Structures are given as C-alpha cells and as structure tokens.
Amino acid sequence: MYAFDYCRVAAADEAIRALREAEDGSFLAGGMTLIPILKQRLARPTVLIDLSGIVVLGGIGEDEQGLILGALATHAEVAASPLVRRVIPGLAEMAAGIGDPQVRHRGTLGGSLANNDPVADYPAAMLALDATIRTDRRAIAADDFFTGLFETALAPDELIMAVHVPVPDLFAYRKFPNPASRYAMAGVAVAVTGKGVRVAVTGAGLSGVFRMTAMEEALAADFRPEALDAVPVPAGQMNEDLHGSAAYRAHLVTVMAKRALAAAR
C-alpha cells in the first residue's frame, strides 16, 4: 500500500472540511471496498477520513414514511435488525446475503451506495424500493442517484448521511452469486408500492444498475412469474466477462426476476 495520512472525525461537517482541505482525500467507512483498492494500488489518496466516529451516521430507525437507515449501518446490523425484519423482511434478507459474515460486520450501506459497484446488491434494492438518499446538503431520489459504473450523483465532497426507505407492500431480492466473490452475476429486486411495480437489475447491465421498465409494465398487468416469459431481456445491453456471456446474463435476469417475484412478501 502507498502511504497516506489518517484522521478520525466526530461530526459530518468536520469530515467534509477535512476532505476539502486534503489534496486528494477519501472518506473511509467499513473499508471493505476502499482497503482492497488501496492494497491493489488502484488509488492513491493522501488522507483517509474515517467516518466511524460520527454517531449521527449510525443507527436504524423509522418514521411515518418508512425506514431510516444510517449511512454507517453495517450489512450485519441491517440483516439482524428486528425493525427491518418486521417492516421490509426482504431487505434484511438481502443484507444477509452480501459477501460473508466478516464483510457484513464492517461493510456499510453508505459505502456500498457511494461506491455503486455494478455488481453490488444494495443499489438494486434501493432503486426498486424508491429510496431517497439523504446527504449533508440534499435529498437524492434513487432514480437520480446511480449514474453509471461506479458513478453516482454525489459531489466529491458530499457525504451520505442516511437512506429513507418507504415501506413497500411487497419486496424481494434474488441474486445468482458468483461462487467465488458472492457478488451478483445477476440480481433482481422487485418492489410493489402504492405507486406501482418497480424492478431493478444489478450485476448484469452494461452500465450498472438499471430499472427494467418492460418487466414493470408486464407485472402491472399480470403480477405472476409467468408474465415475465413474454418480456424480452436484450442481451445487447448485458455485460459480458470471464464469468458469463451477455446471453447467459440476460437469461439469468429473467430467472432471478421470477424468483424474486415468487419470494416477494
């Protein structure tokens, strides 16, 4: 690893100030993405600003609209939270399927969203659930947040504070995990809300997480797994790599969508 400086801050404004003052600073949450990147020398920040001491970024709660998940909520905390399990059980289940227990003990919601890895699970869940990402300066709808491979609407010095998740009528997420990394080869989240059906796909698309509107329309008319048989998934928009061809991923998207539908509650 290249050398860098390290600072731990106690408040959001302190973190942002430290980042602005740094030549090339980076926020550090669970480190489950950032530290592997540093080990591979794929990034060379001058200072890491550790967010773990910012108490207001932690915690899991609710208001009239739904769940409020702090940016520092770990995957293990979301998976084990009695509140999340009661209100959106499929979200707790999704968190329980990220990586392995050691990754879940440290990896955070905020880190996962900010990173927007095209094979990560949370982006699909939050996009389907029509969540709102609250930062230090504004609220960003999930529809506007994920802008491309590892790209988000966040400004370089913008800090995710919490995520607001409206309670759906039904929700489930299913992924076909890469057997080595546990990341999604294809993952599909299906949510039914008062506003309609939302289907979001991760792991498969050429430009990262996306909403599968053709499936949403088909399911609005007929909410059964068989309704998806008639919906083509264009292989031309799928990712192709050593783990699978574009045609295989297109096939997986339909299979995962059907499984999510069958599991939705």
Partner 1 sequence: MPVTVSMRVNGTALTREVEPHTLLVRFLRESLGLTGTHVGCDTSQCGACVVHVDGLSVKSCTMLAVQADGAEILTIEGLAATDGTLHPVQAAFREHHGLQCGYCTPGMVMSAVDLLRVNPDPDEAEIRHWLEGNLCRCTGYHGIVTAVLDAAARLRATPRTPGESAV
Ligand X SMILES: Cc1cc2nc3c(=O)[nH]c(=O)nc-3n(C[C@H](O)[C@H](O)[C@H](O)COP(=O)(O)OP(=O)(O)OC[C@H]3O[C@@H](n4cnc5c(N)ncnc54)[C@H](O)[C@@H]3O)c2cc1C
- Point out which residues bind partner 1 (CB under 8 A): 1-6, 8, 28, 31-32, 35-36, 38-40, 48, 50, 52, 76, 99-103, 105-106, 180-182
Nearer to partner 1, 101 or 234 (CB): 101
Tokens (6 digits) for 257: 């969508």
Q: Which of 73, 79, 88, 98 is in the footprint of ligand X by CB under 6 A?
A: 98
114 near ligand X, rule: CB under 6 A: yes
Amino acid at 139: A
CA distance 14 to 30: 19
Q: Which does 114 bind (CB under 5 to 8 A by kind): ligand X, partner 1, none?
A: ligand X
CA 138 to CA 198: how far, in whole Å? 24
- What minimum distance in Å lies between the beta carbon of 174 and ligand X? 13
16, 29, 76, 95: residue in contact with ligand X (rule CB under 6 A): 29
Residues 173-212 that bind ligand X (CB under 6 A): 181-183
Pick the closer one to partner 1 by CB: 120 or 191.
120
Q: Using CA atoms, how far apart are residues 98 and 226, in angstroms rounded to an integer? A: 28
CA 150 to chain centre: 11
Q: Phi, psi (5° rounding) for residue 121?
A: -85, -45
Residue 157, judged by CB atoms within 10 A of its CB (0-12, 13-18, 19+), counts as: middle
Nearest Cα residue to 224 out of 196, 257, 249: 257
DSSP 230: G
Which of the listed partners (partner 1, ligand X, none) does 130 bind, with a CB threshold of 5 to 8 Å by partner kind? none
C-beta closer to ligand X: residue 102 or 207: 102
- Is there binding between residue 85 and ligand X (CB under 6 A)? no
Regarding 32 and contact with ligand X (CB under 6 A), the answer is yes
Q: Quick one: 191 or 219, whose CB is closer to ligand X?
A: 191
132 binds ligand X (CB under 6 A): no
Minimum CB separation from ligand X for residue 154, in Å?
6
Closest distance of CB 207 from partner 1, Å? 25
Q: Which of 18, 22, 34, 186 binds ligand X (CB under 6 A)?
A: 34
Amino acid at site 50: D
- HEC letters along 38-77: HHCCCCCCCEEEECCCCHHHCCEEECCCEEEEECCCEHHH
Taking alpha carbons only, the member of 228, 253, 260 closest to residue 238 is: 253
Please give the residue ranges that form the binding site for ligand X (CB under 6 A).
26-34, 36, 51, 71, 98-99, 103, 107-108, 110-112, 114-115, 117, 120-122, 159-160, 181-183
